[in-house]
Amino acid sequence: MNAEQASDNSFEYEVTPEGKVFSCSSNWRGYGKREMTQKLNSDGYPSVRITINGKRRRMAVHRLVAEKYLGPRPLNSQIRHLDGNKLNARLDNLAYGTAKGNADDREQHGRTSRGISHSIYIKHGFARFK
């Protein structure tokens, strides 16, 4: 499931280049368009809960932004955070790239995982950014 499928759903969502996601349809509470709450997923990326084909699903915000503004993700590519900060889902911070490019970014920004305790530290966003 991708961002296109999310927008084709009976519930409509709006994704901004700034990394905000809005629900544009009315819900059972009678709200109209509203900004959706972002929570960190198990990998430490901001995510929102959207409904696709009647099923609720949590999707990473950076994935929604990239697929909407950068187009479909090329085969065997990953979404890169250019500043090394996984909390920054702004369009100007995202690019598609190879696994090697993504690993080089992690190394450059000091976010390469080295051991279990370091992995936990990195996963929860406690690494220092250069």
Q: Decide if pLDDT at 115 tops 90.
A: no
Looking at residues 74-94, what average pLDDT do you find? 92
Q: Residue 130's pLDDT band (boundaries 50, 70, 90)? A: very low
Q: Residue 124's pLDDT band (boundaries 50, 70, 90)? A: low
Looking at residues 64-68, what average pLDDT do you find? 95
How distant is the alpha carbon of residue 118 from its chain centre? 22
Domain 3-123: state its class: alpha beta
Strands 13-15 and 21-23: antiparallel
- Tell me, what amino acid is at 112? T
Residue 75 vs residues 51, 64, 78, 96, 98: alpha-carbon distances, Å: 25, 17, 9, 10, 10
pLDDT: which is higher, 110 or 45: 45
Q: Decide if pLDDT at 69 tops 50.
A: yes
CA dist 96 and 71 (Å) reads 10
Task: Give the residue ranges of DSSP H helices in 9-98.
Answer: 61-69
Q: Give the whole-number percent of the chain exceeding pLDDT 90.
A: 45
Q: Parse the chain into domains and list their residue ranges.
A: 3-123
In this predicted model, what pLDDT tens digit does every residue of 20-47 receive, in sequence order? 999 887 666 677 788 999 999 988 899 9
Angle 27-29-31 from CA coordinates, rounded to 5°: 65
